[in-house]
Amino acid sequence: MNRIVARKTWFKGLQFHSVLAVLALMLLAGDVMAHGERAQLASMRMRTVHWFDTQVTPLNVKVGDLVTVTGKLVTSEWWPKHMPSIEETVFLNIGVPGPTFLRLHSEVNGVPMMRSTAFPLGKVYEYKTVLRARVAGRYHVHPLLNVKDAGSLVAKGSWLEVAENDSGEPFVNEITTLPGDTIDLETYGLSGFGGVYFWHVVWIVVGIAYLVYWLGTKRELFIPRFIRIRALGQDRANELLTKNDFVVSSIFFTLTLALILTGYLWAENRYPITIPLQTGLVDVEPIDIPAGDLEVVVDHATYELAGRSLTMRMNMTNNGTSPIRIAEFLTANIRFMNAKVGEGEIYEGEEMISRDGLTVSIDTIAPGQSVDVDLVASDALWEKYRMTGLIHDPDSRFAGLIFYYDDVGTRYYQEVGGAVLPEFF
C-alpha cells in the first residue's frame, strides 16, 4: 500500500512540475528570427530547386501596403531518387512567420497559381507573388515550394520591415461575396451565435467539465488506478472503469455528437452558398534553360573540409562565335561570385553571397576553344549554412548553376552536377 501511495504522490509531483516547465518555456520563448532552412539536408538544398534572381520590393512598407516577390528557379535534373518528385504536385507559396501578410496574386510563367501544378525537371520557371502587409513587424520573407509528400523547399529570405500605418486604424480586408454583401475578413464570423468565439467557449466548457470529472479530488486518474490494479492483481482489472465512469463517458460522447450535428445543420442553413476548396492542377509551360553555346562536362569534384571549398574540374567547349566569361556558381541558395568578371546583379537585402568566393582557372574561353577548367567555390558560408553535411550523405552528389556571359553581356546559365569526394586534409 505504501508503494501505491508513493507512486500516486510521484505522479502528482510529475504533473505539477510538467505544468511549471511548460509555463516557463512559454514565458521565456523569444521571437522566431528565421525559418530553419539551414535544417534541411545539404543534398536536398543542392539537388532539388535552384532559386535565383529572388527580389522582394519594397523592403520598407506600412500596414496595408503591397509587397512584390519575384524571381526564377530551375528544377534540378539531379533530383534525389528517394524524394517524391516535383513533377507530380507542387504549390508556390510564401514563407513568413504566421499570417502577417495577405497573398493577393501569384503566378508562374504568367499562369495564375491559385492551384497546384507540376514542374518537369531541368526547366526554368519565373514566379511572381503580390502580398499585402497585415501586421507590423520585421519579417524574413521566403518564396517556397510545397511539394506533395516531400515538404517545403525554401528559397533564401529577405528582411522586410512593416511599420504601422499613419492613421493607426486596424487592418481592414474587405471583399464582396457572391450575394453582394461586403464583409471584412478580419472580423467576419468571429462573434455572435455560431461564431468562432461561441464555439470556442462551448468546447472549452465541455473539455473543462470532462477534466473536472476525471480530476476531481475524490477520483484517481486512469494511470494511477492502472498501477494500483496491477499491484493488487489482474483479476481486479474491471475496477479501472467503474459503472459511473461508463455512464458519464457515454453522456459526454452523446453530447459531443449532438453538438457536431447541430453545428453542421446550423452552418448549412446559415451559409447556403459555398465554394469547395479547389484541388485541381493547372498546367504551366516550362522555359528551356538558356545554356547558349557552352558545352560543359563535369570530370570530378572534391570538397575540402579544412578549406571549406568545393573544387570542380570541368571540360568546357565554346561552340559559339564570341568569348565566354565564367561569372558565378550558385548552389543551395549560396552565390559564389567571380570578382574578376564582376557580372551579376546583387539585389537590395539579398543574403548568402560570397562576392569573391569563386576562383576560376580560366576566366575567358575563346570561340572554338575546349579546355579543362577548375572552379573553386570557397567561403565560410559552407560552414555557416551547414553545407558540410553533404559528405555524410550516402549518395554524395552535388548540383548547382554556373552563370556565364558573352562579349555583349548576355547572361547564360546551365546546371552542372556529379559525384563529390571529401578531402579531410
* Fold agreement between 37-176 and 294-423: no
What are the pLDDT digits (tens) for 327-368?
999 999 999 999 988 767 788 888 889 999 999 999 899 999
User: Strand order of the sheet with strand 370-378?
Assistant: 358-360, 370-378, 309-318, 294-304, 421-423
Dist. CA 38–CA 386, nearest whole Å: 6
- Contact in structure between 323 and 367 (CB atoms under 8 Å): yes
Which of 19-28, 102-111, 120-129, 227-236 is predicted least confidently? Answer: 19-28
Extents of the domains making up the chain: 37-176, 189-270, 294-423
pLDDT score for 26: 53
Q: What's the confidence (pLDDT) of residue 343?
A: 65
| Residue 285 predicted with pLDDT over 90 | yes
CA dihedral 42, 44, 47, 49 (to 10 degrees): -120
Region 37-176: CATH code? 2.60.120.570
- Give the three cell numbers for residue 385: 549554412
135, 160 Cβ separation under 8 angstroms = no
Quote the pLDDT of residue 33.
47
* Predicted TM-score (pTM) above 0.85: no
Pick the CATH number of 294-423 from 3.40.605.10, 2.60.40.1580, 3.40.630.10, 2.60.120.10: 2.60.40.1580
Residue 307 has pLDDT above 60, yes or no: yes
